[in-house]
Structure 1
Amino acid sequence: MLQRQTILSVSTSDTGFVDITRHLARFVADSGVKTGLLTALLRHTSAGLVIQENADPDVLADLADRLEAMAPRDPSLYRHRSEGSDDMPAHVRAMLTNVQLSIPVMKGRLALGKWQAVYVAEHRARGSDRQVALHLTGE
Protein backbone atom coordinates (compact mmCIF):
# COMPACT_ATOMS: atom_id res chain seq x y z
CA MET A 1 0.00 0.00 0.00
CA LEU A 2 1.37 3.39 -1.03
CA GLN A 3 0.54 6.66 0.69
CA ARG A 4 1.35 10.15 -0.49
CA GLN A 5 0.52 13.53 1.05
CA THR A 6 1.03 17.14 0.04
CA ILE A 7 -0.40 20.59 0.50
CA LEU A 8 -1.71 22.31 -2.62
CA SER A 9 -1.66 26.12 -2.46
CA VAL A 10 -4.42 27.88 -4.38
CA SER A 11 -4.62 31.65 -4.82
CA THR A 12 -8.07 33.12 -5.37
CA SER A 13 -8.82 36.67 -6.44
CA ASP A 14 -12.48 37.04 -5.44
CA THR A 15 -15.74 35.12 -5.12
CA GLY A 16 -15.89 32.32 -7.66
CA PHE A 17 -14.47 28.97 -8.65
CA VAL A 18 -10.83 27.97 -9.26
CA ASP A 19 -10.33 24.72 -11.19
CA ILE A 20 -7.74 22.55 -9.43
CA THR A 21 -8.39 19.33 -11.38
CA ARG A 22 -5.10 19.37 -13.29
CA HIS A 23 -3.14 19.81 -10.04
CA LEU A 24 -4.90 16.83 -8.48
CA ALA A 25 -4.41 14.76 -11.65
CA ARG A 26 -0.68 15.59 -11.68
CA PHE A 27 -0.33 14.62 -8.01
CA VAL A 28 -1.98 11.26 -8.73
CA ALA A 29 0.06 10.65 -11.89
CA ASP A 30 3.34 11.45 -10.13
CA SER A 31 2.49 9.14 -7.21
CA GLY A 32 2.56 5.86 -9.11
CA VAL A 33 -0.78 4.83 -7.55
CA LYS A 34 -2.94 2.93 -10.05
CA THR A 35 -5.87 2.01 -7.79
CA GLY A 36 -6.75 3.96 -4.70
CA LEU A 37 -8.50 6.92 -3.13
CA LEU A 38 -7.60 10.60 -3.11
CA THR A 39 -8.91 12.63 -0.21
CA ALA A 40 -8.79 16.43 -0.44
CA LEU A 41 -9.45 18.67 2.55
CA LEU A 42 -9.75 22.44 2.22
CA ARG A 43 -8.18 23.90 5.36
CA HIS A 44 -10.49 26.90 5.65
CA THR A 45 -13.99 27.78 6.90
CA SER A 46 -14.92 30.46 4.37
CA ALA A 47 -14.40 28.53 1.13
CA GLY A 48 -15.37 25.11 -0.19
CA LEU A 49 -14.45 22.22 -2.48
CA VAL A 50 -16.91 21.16 -5.15
CA ILE A 51 -17.15 18.81 -8.09
CA GLN A 52 -19.11 20.50 -10.85
CA GLU A 53 -19.53 20.75 -14.59
CA ASN A 54 -16.46 21.83 -16.54
CA ALA A 55 -18.05 22.46 -19.97
CA ASP A 56 -20.47 25.38 -19.68
CA PRO A 57 -19.26 28.37 -17.59
CA ASP A 58 -22.88 29.43 -17.13
CA VAL A 59 -23.23 26.56 -14.63
CA LEU A 60 -20.62 28.10 -12.32
CA ALA A 61 -22.13 31.57 -12.79
CA ASP A 62 -25.59 30.26 -11.90
CA LEU A 63 -24.21 28.46 -8.84
CA ALA A 64 -22.50 31.65 -7.67
CA ASP A 65 -25.80 33.50 -8.11
CA ARG A 66 -27.70 30.89 -6.06
CA LEU A 67 -25.10 31.00 -3.28
CA GLU A 68 -25.47 34.79 -3.22
CA ALA A 69 -29.26 34.42 -2.94
CA MET A 70 -28.97 31.89 -0.10
CA ALA A 71 -26.32 33.82 1.86
CA PRO A 72 -26.39 37.48 0.80
CA ARG A 73 -23.64 39.90 1.83
CA ASP A 74 -26.01 42.15 3.76
CA PRO A 75 -24.23 42.90 7.07
CA SER A 76 -27.56 43.62 8.78
CA LEU A 77 -28.39 39.89 8.56
CA TYR A 78 -25.47 38.72 10.72
CA ARG A 79 -24.02 39.27 14.20
CA HIS A 80 -20.46 38.21 13.30
CA ARG A 81 -18.78 41.10 11.48
CA SER A 82 -15.33 41.29 13.09
CA GLU A 83 -13.58 39.83 10.01
CA GLY A 84 -15.44 41.89 7.43
CA SER A 85 -18.94 42.06 6.04
CA ASP A 86 -18.32 39.15 3.65
CA ASP A 87 -17.00 36.74 6.30
CA MET A 88 -20.22 35.45 7.86
CA PRO A 89 -21.95 34.91 4.48
CA ALA A 90 -18.80 33.01 3.44
CA HIS A 91 -19.16 30.73 6.47
CA VAL A 92 -22.78 30.00 5.52
CA ARG A 93 -21.76 29.25 1.92
CA ALA A 94 -18.96 26.98 3.13
CA MET A 95 -21.54 25.05 5.12
CA LEU A 96 -23.52 24.55 1.89
CA THR A 97 -20.50 23.34 -0.07
CA ASN A 98 -18.00 20.64 0.87
CA VAL A 99 -14.65 21.13 2.55
CA GLN A 100 -13.63 17.51 1.90
CA LEU A 101 -13.87 15.32 -1.17
CA SER A 102 -12.95 11.68 -1.77
CA ILE A 103 -12.23 10.71 -5.37
CA PRO A 104 -11.48 7.16 -6.49
CA VAL A 105 -8.33 6.55 -8.52
CA MET A 106 -8.69 3.99 -11.30
CA LYS A 107 -5.95 3.01 -13.75
CA GLY A 108 -3.75 5.80 -12.38
CA ARG A 109 -6.31 8.55 -13.01
CA LEU A 110 -9.01 10.40 -11.11
CA ALA A 111 -12.33 8.61 -11.70
CA LEU A 112 -14.15 11.84 -12.53
CA GLY A 113 -16.88 11.89 -15.15
CA LYS A 114 -16.35 13.44 -18.58
CA TRP A 115 -17.93 16.77 -17.62
CA GLN A 116 -16.64 16.98 -14.04
CA ALA A 117 -13.91 19.15 -12.56
CA VAL A 118 -12.81 19.89 -9.00
CA TYR A 119 -12.98 23.51 -7.88
CA VAL A 120 -12.07 25.58 -4.87
CA ALA A 121 -15.17 27.70 -4.30
CA GLU A 122 -14.01 31.03 -2.92
CA HIS A 123 -16.77 32.57 -0.81
CA ARG A 124 -14.99 35.77 0.29
CA ALA A 125 -15.24 38.94 -1.81
CA ARG A 126 -11.53 39.47 -1.50
CA GLY A 127 -9.45 36.51 -2.54
CA SER A 128 -7.10 34.59 -0.36
CA ASP A 129 -4.34 32.01 -0.37
CA ARG A 130 -6.07 28.69 0.26
CA GLN A 131 -4.56 25.33 1.18
CA VAL A 132 -5.86 21.92 0.14
CA ALA A 133 -4.38 18.96 2.03
CA LEU A 134 -4.15 15.92 -0.24
CA HIS A 135 -3.85 12.33 0.96
CA LEU A 136 -3.60 9.50 -1.56
CA THR A 137 -3.66 5.84 -0.63
CA GLY A 138 -3.56 2.88 -2.96
CA GLU A 139 -1.36 0.53 -4.91
Structure 2
Amino acid sequence: MKLYSFQLSFRMDAEASADITTQVQDQVRASGIREGFVVLFAQGSTCALSTMEFEPGLRKDIFDAMERIAPSDIDYAHHRTWNDGNGRSHVRATVVGPSLTVPITKGRLDLGTWQQIVLFNFDIHPRERVVIGKVFGEP
Protein backbone atom coordinates (compact mmCIF):
# COMPACT_ATOMS: atom_id res chain seq x y z
CA MET A 1 0.00 0.00 0.00
CA LYS A 2 1.31 3.42 -0.99
CA LEU A 3 0.40 6.80 0.55
CA TYR A 4 0.70 10.19 -1.17
CA SER A 5 -0.15 13.48 0.58
CA PHE A 6 -0.91 16.86 -0.96
CA GLN A 7 -2.32 20.29 -0.18
CA LEU A 8 -4.31 22.56 -2.49
CA SER A 9 -5.04 26.26 -1.90
CA PHE A 10 -7.87 28.28 -3.42
CA ARG A 11 -8.62 32.00 -3.12
CA MET A 12 -12.42 32.16 -2.93
CA ASP A 13 -14.99 34.93 -2.93
CA ALA A 14 -17.52 35.18 -0.12
CA GLU A 15 -20.32 32.59 -0.32
CA ALA A 16 -18.86 30.88 -3.39
CA SER A 17 -18.20 27.43 -4.80
CA ALA A 18 -15.35 26.04 -6.91
CA ASP A 19 -14.99 22.91 -9.03
CA ILE A 20 -11.70 21.38 -7.84
CA THR A 21 -12.01 18.07 -9.73
CA THR A 22 -9.15 18.79 -12.16
CA GLN A 23 -6.73 19.77 -9.38
CA VAL A 24 -7.58 16.62 -7.40
CA GLN A 25 -7.25 14.40 -10.49
CA ASP A 26 -3.84 15.96 -11.18
CA GLN A 27 -2.73 14.95 -7.68
CA VAL A 28 -4.09 11.42 -8.14
CA ARG A 29 -2.08 11.17 -11.37
CA ALA A 30 1.06 12.49 -9.61
CA SER A 31 0.62 9.90 -6.85
CA GLY A 32 1.05 6.99 -9.25
CA ILE A 33 -1.75 5.14 -7.48
CA ARG A 34 -3.99 3.21 -9.88
CA GLU A 35 -6.42 1.50 -7.47
CA GLY A 36 -7.40 3.04 -4.15
CA PHE A 37 -9.00 6.11 -2.63
CA VAL A 38 -8.45 9.82 -2.20
CA VAL A 39 -9.59 11.36 1.07
CA LEU A 40 -10.10 15.13 1.06
CA PHE A 41 -10.49 17.47 4.03
CA ALA A 42 -11.36 21.19 3.88
CA GLN A 43 -9.60 23.13 6.62
CA GLY A 44 -11.77 25.75 8.26
CA SER A 45 -15.11 25.85 10.03
CA THR A 46 -16.92 27.84 7.32
CA CYS A 47 -16.00 25.77 4.26
CA ALA A 48 -17.14 22.35 3.06
CA LEU A 49 -16.70 19.68 0.38
CA SER A 50 -19.23 17.70 -1.63
CA THR A 51 -19.92 16.36 -5.10
CA MET A 52 -22.52 17.75 -7.47
CA GLU A 53 -23.14 18.68 -11.07
CA PHE A 54 -21.26 21.98 -11.18
CA GLU A 55 -23.59 24.06 -13.34
CA PRO A 56 -24.93 27.57 -12.69
CA GLY A 57 -28.53 26.57 -11.97
CA LEU A 58 -27.65 23.94 -9.39
CA ARG A 59 -25.01 26.17 -7.82
CA LYS A 60 -27.74 28.79 -7.27
CA ASP A 61 -30.12 26.11 -6.00
CA ILE A 62 -27.58 24.94 -3.40
CA PHE A 63 -27.05 28.44 -2.02
CA ASP A 64 -30.82 29.07 -2.08
CA ALA A 65 -31.34 25.83 -0.12
CA MET A 66 -28.67 26.87 2.38
CA GLU A 67 -30.53 30.17 2.85
CA ARG A 68 -33.65 28.20 3.81
CA ILE A 69 -31.68 25.92 6.17
CA ALA A 70 -29.59 28.66 7.83
CA PRO A 71 -31.12 32.06 6.97
CA SER A 72 -28.98 35.19 6.79
CA ASP A 73 -31.47 37.38 8.64
CA ILE A 74 -31.73 35.62 12.01
CA ASP A 75 -29.71 36.02 15.18
CA TYR A 76 -27.20 33.25 15.90
CA ALA A 77 -25.68 32.64 19.33
CA HIS A 78 -22.33 32.56 17.53
CA HIS A 79 -22.73 36.29 16.79
CA ARG A 80 -22.85 37.03 20.51
CA THR A 81 -19.71 34.95 21.08
CA TRP A 82 -17.47 36.47 18.40
CA ASN A 83 -19.39 39.49 17.00
CA ASP A 84 -18.44 38.45 13.47
CA GLY A 85 -21.90 37.98 11.92
CA ASN A 86 -21.13 34.65 10.24
CA GLY A 87 -23.15 32.22 12.33
CA ARG A 88 -25.00 31.08 9.23
CA SER A 89 -21.66 30.28 7.56
CA HIS A 90 -20.73 27.85 10.34
CA VAL A 91 -24.14 26.17 10.27
CA ARG A 92 -24.07 25.76 6.48
CA ALA A 93 -20.55 24.29 6.51
CA THR A 94 -21.52 21.88 9.28
CA VAL A 95 -24.56 20.68 7.32
CA VAL A 96 -22.51 19.93 4.17
CA GLY A 97 -19.41 18.62 5.97
CA PRO A 98 -15.64 19.04 5.63
CA SER A 99 -14.55 15.74 4.09
CA LEU A 100 -15.02 13.51 1.08
CA THR A 101 -13.73 10.11 -0.06
CA VAL A 102 -13.59 9.21 -3.76
CA PRO A 103 -12.53 5.82 -5.16
CA ILE A 104 -9.72 5.64 -7.71
CA THR A 105 -10.00 3.12 -10.55
CA LYS A 106 -7.30 2.72 -13.20
CA GLY A 107 -5.65 5.93 -12.00
CA ARG A 108 -8.79 8.07 -12.35
CA LEU A 109 -11.31 9.51 -9.93
CA ASP A 110 -14.31 7.18 -10.12
CA LEU A 111 -16.95 9.92 -10.40
CA GLY A 112 -20.22 9.86 -12.30
CA THR A 113 -20.55 11.61 -15.66
CA TRP A 114 -22.09 14.78 -14.20
CA GLN A 115 -20.35 14.63 -10.82
CA GLN A 116 -17.63 17.07 -9.83
CA ILE A 117 -15.77 17.65 -6.56
CA VAL A 118 -16.88 21.01 -5.20
CA LEU A 119 -15.38 23.21 -2.50
CA PHE A 120 -17.74 25.67 -0.80
CA ASN A 121 -16.77 28.86 0.98
CA PHE A 122 -19.83 29.65 3.09
CA ASP A 123 -18.12 32.53 4.88
CA ILE A 124 -19.39 36.07 4.40
CA HIS A 125 -15.84 37.18 3.53
CA PRO A 126 -13.39 36.11 0.81
CA ARG A 127 -11.03 33.45 2.15
CA GLU A 128 -7.97 31.45 1.23
CA ARG A 129 -9.20 27.84 1.45
CA VAL A 130 -6.95 24.83 1.93
CA VAL A 131 -7.85 21.25 1.05
CA ILE A 132 -5.67 18.47 2.46
CA GLY A 133 -5.57 15.27 0.42
CA LYS A 134 -4.36 11.73 1.08
CA VAL A 135 -4.21 9.27 -1.80
CA PHE A 136 -3.71 5.67 -0.80
CA GLY A 137 -3.79 2.39 -2.63
CA GLU A 138 -1.81 0.28 -5.07
CA PRO A 139 0.32 1.53 -8.00
User: TM-score of the superposition, structure 1-length normalised?
Assistant: 0.93
Residue 83 of structure 1 and its aligned partner are, at CA, apart by 5.0
Give 1:77's aligned amino acid. D
Give 2:42's aligned amino acid. L
Matched with 1:26 is 26
Count residues with an aligned counterpart: 136
CA distance in 2, matches of 1:61, 1:135: 30
Give 1:79's aligned amino acid. A
Matched with 2:93 is 94
Residue 94 of structure 1 and its aligned partner are, at CA, apart by 0.9
Identity %: 29
Secondary structure, in 3 states, of the residue corresponding to 2:77?
Answer: coil
Matched with 2:62 is 63
User: TM-score of the superposition, structure 2-length normalised?
Assistant: 0.93
CA distance in 2, matches of 1:130, 1:121: 9
Deviating beyond 4 angstroms after TM superposition, the runs of 4 or more aligned structure 1 residues are none
Structure 1 gap ranges (5+)? none
Residue 126 of structure 1 and its aligned partner are, at CA, apart by 1.3
CA distance in 2, matches of 1:60, 1:120: 11
Residue 24 of structure 1 and its aligned partner are, at CA, apart by 0.2
CA distance in 1, matches of 2:65, 2:27: 32
CA distance in 2, matches of 1:24, 1:132: 10
Give 2:124's aligned amino acid. A
CA distance in 1, matches of 2:77, 2:103: 40
Secondary structure, in 3 states, of the residue corresponding to 2:78?
Answer: coil
1:14 aligns to 2:25 (yes or no) = no
Matched with 2:75 is 77
Secondary structure, in 3 states, of the residue corresponding to 1:37?
Answer: strand
Structure 2 gap ranges (5+)? none
CA distance in 2, matches of 1:83, 1:15: 19
CA distance in 2, matches of 1:43, 1:124: 13
